[in-house]
Amino acid sequence: MTMTTPLTWVGLDRRAHRNEVGAITALLLAATEEERLALAEDVEAGIKKADRDGWWRGDTSPTPGHALAVIGCMPTAAKAAALLLRGNMRNWSAVTPRLFLEIAQARELPWLGELGQRLAARTPVRERWNNDWPFAVRLMHAGGAEPPVTEGVTRAWVEGLLRPAQQGTPVPPLSIRMRDDPFLPVLLPAVFAFDGLGADLLSDSWQESGPQFPPVVAHLVAEGTLERKTVLDLTVDRLVRGDKPHCLRPFTLLHEALAPGIDEMSSHALDYARLLAEAPGAVAAVAQKVLRAVDDAGRLELDTLLDTSAATLVRTEKTLVKAQITWLEKVSRREPGRAAEVLETVAVAFGHPALDVQDRALTVIGKRIGDLDPAVVARLADAAVALSGDLPARAAALFGTVVEEGPAEIPELPPPAPPAAMPAPIATPAELAEEVAALVHEPAAIRWERVLAGLVTLNTTAGPAALATALQPVLDRYPGDFEENTWNRSKPLLHLGVAIRSAIGTDKPGGLWLWLVTSLRTAWQDGRRGGVDSAIVPTPDGVLALRVAETVTQLTSTMVPLLMATPTHVTGSLDAAVLLDRLRRAESEGWQPWPVDFEQALLRLPRVTDPVVAAGAATLTSPAGRQFAAWLADGGLPDPVSTRFQQEPARRGYTWYSPVGRRVVAALTPARGGGLRLERQLLTIAPGPHPEEFPSAFHDAGDVLAMVLPHHREVTAAWALPELAAMTDQEQREGAAVLPLLAECSGPVGPALAYAVAYALTARYQESRIAAVDAFLTLAAGPPPARAAGPARAAEAALPGGAAPFAGAVGAAVADLGADATLKLSRLVPALAEAYRAGAAVAVWEVLATALPAMLASPQRGLPDLLELASQVAGAVHARVEIPGLAEVASRPGSSRLVKEAKRLQTVLTP
């Protein structure tokens, strides 16, 4: 007599963990449907009770065998899907589909297709598990169900078509795979519906080369498998709705493969007109080609052409715009009765940023000027005010007007707004706790200042008990930041944790506390920070860590009610009158400021002091008060000597990245001996002979760095310069955020800041160049800083009223770095053009006038574009100056663009 093994959860679970899937299948097949359904609750409870995160450890989590128990016992697709989609069942699809289907067929499940649909509906858009979608497909095929149309399903379907799993047999071509796929009618339209999916279509099967989707779909259309009108409508609609250019490329290729006829193109004329005006360049070029064919066939409304041309003529793609002008010229001859309208549309190109486009438009209009009514000519003359470079004079001769120029028309930037005041002080322990928690996620300098000030003040006013109630939960929530580990010994957040625990009485003097105290003593007594025995880094941002370390040692012993160095403005600047009030309070209450905090306060004072404040300081009697008065009387911190320093490439063997060429940085030397204890390290930089590879000291601390010396931005720029240079010569992404902050600070502009701006204007990433332009505009609009020694200022005398001195220094840096193509003109020209359009024409011209002689002597790729920009800017500022080397280039024979643009600039500069 054969004994049958009873069907129990314990037995199934034991066999599942031993991966005995065959035995589990046999048990489920041998049981009756009543026995299977009776076990459903035990299976559900067992899977739900299992460790949710244990699947990746391979311990007690559900295994593929448990998925067989689910399909063998659950009464509905909903319950089965709910269990299979649990987080601890992520490996359910590792089970052999044959066993899964064998059990389902034995049970004669009517909901197998529904289960496949439910599983497919949860297919993620990204990071799909390898076998989940194919498994769901098998279930839907077996149950005769259609897939849900979601983005995840559509992407998974496309991936399966383009990169099919190889099962040891030859894979049919994509055309056959698509034709035979039962999901094609349902999912193909969805391919056109989801943004970004076009990027997936550029991925091909390993057996095929080149984008296969466009020609295959066109082939299926040609053979009648797919309806032509539907596919063409979907394609045009996808292009009209727009997407990133690379995501639209397969649909552009599909459009070309479909090769629509004149009737089809005419029916979508308005769609193509919208594409010509708004779509990415490659798509707009296709639309332009189609519309010209429709126009040649006499089936394009002229009003449609004129409306879309007005938007097209100001696009940045010069080839596209020039082709549009040529097309409009042809139409003006074909439609003489409406030539005036057409040519007034061409005049829209007068506002194009490229001079050769403006030139083309003016030339086309000039050919027909004799056929136009005086009123039309007058309107064209009005439009010509947008022309720049040498073109206003040509337009004046053409339209019979007068070119007006004078200093009053030079564009000027509005003066910058004063730096914003610091936010209100932290008032309660609860608010302090919120800011400390926020500091973990965003360690901004402004937040640091508020937290330090709040901790010191509330320790006196609220007391340790209230601080403990509010702050201890924050320390417990972020142990990786506030407790010591291998990576954070020099981090200010760790020091803050020690300070907080000292204040609330939970940290006893010991290892880390003693280390911070020792580091502080060394820094204060010897003026030395950094090294293996110090918790404080030697760079300026280390002053923050030094102040936090001082808080650790002083908070519970001196009980001062406020910090001296808390700035009054977000730049880090501290009003001298406010510091005077703080010192008066200290004298009246009988306490002394903390030493490091007080030195930081002095370093944050403005360069110019109100005489009333200086007189008040002279009445102070405490040691700190007398030091404050002497500091003001001596004029504060003297500017160090900032010197250009060129680093040469290091000789090295093979490296996976390109070695750095020469890099220009800055050396700093203090202007005096003695001074503050913080002073020597802050004002001393001795660069090494070779560039540092991928410097990153200030990527995440640019604002902290800037707030240490807010009125000596040249010093801060010198520290940050290696990282700013690496944005160009090593194409690093981070670092530029400090530049707008430095521009809002004050102090002379020397070689460090000049080279910093020059490097950032040609950085690899657009966000870095945007930050550089913002800084450039602030520097151009601000009050003239102290004049820095350095390169000659080639154009200042030629400009009415002079120009900001920083621009000449930036121009000299550009000339230096452009001599060996360290700077790419293809990045510099758009950045300077943006600054020019924003109103900094005078400063941009000085950069160009200073840089051009060296650029002309050693031409680099992109020089014609730089000359074109120079013509525009010189015309705007009415410059009349000789550029060395320009006449020689302009007199060369030939009609190259370099010679043409040199002649144009020479014409603009010639009275």
At 434-489, the pLDDT tens digits run 999 999 999 899 999 999 999 999 999 999 999 999 999 999 898 888 887 666 66
**Under 8 Å between Cβ of 9 and 66:** no
Cβ partners under 8 Å of residue 764, min gap 6:
727, 728, 731, 732, 733, 827
For residue 787, pLDDT over 50 is answered with: no
Domain extent listing, the chain: 1-148, 260-404, 429-633, 638-647+664-789, 795-911
Q: How far apart are the first and last CA of the chain?
A: 118
> What's the confidence (pLDDT) of residue 506?
75
Segment 781-790 shows an average pLDDT of: 47
Comparing 128 with 719, which gets the higher pLDDT? Answer: 719
Band (pLDDT 50/70/90 cuts) for residue 673 is confident
> What's the confidence (pLDDT) of residue 527?
60
- Of 83, 155, 79, give the one whose Cα is nearest residue 114: 79
Segment 304-308 shows an average pLDDT of: 96
For residue 205, pLDDT over 50 is answered with: no
CA angle, residues 376, 379, 385, in degrees to nearest 5:
145
* CB neighbour class for 268 (10 Å; exposed up to 12, middle 13-18, buried from 19): buried
Report which residue type is found at 625.
G
> What's the confidence (pLDDT) of residue 499?
87
Distance (Å, whole) CA 289 – CA 276 = 9
| CA gyration radius, the chain | 36
SS3 content of the chain, % helix, strand, coil (to 5): 60, 0, 35
Q: How far is CA 417 from CA 50, 328, 414, 541, 573, in A?
A: 62, 46, 9, 26, 15
* CB neighbour class for 15 (10 Å; exposed up to 12, middle 13-18, buried from 19): buried
For residue 2, pLDDT over 70 is answered with: no
> What's the confidence (pLDDT) of residue 53?
46
For residue 754, pLDDT over 50 is answered with: yes
Band (pLDDT 50/70/90 cuts) for residue 898 is very high
Q: What is the mean pLDDT of the chain?
A: 87
For residue 797, pLDDT over 70 is answered with: no
For residue 298, pLDDT over 90 is answered with: yes
Residue 669: beta bridge partners? Answer: 641
Q: Report the percentage of the chain scoring pLDDT > 70.
A: 88
For residue 264, pLDDT over 90 is answered with: yes
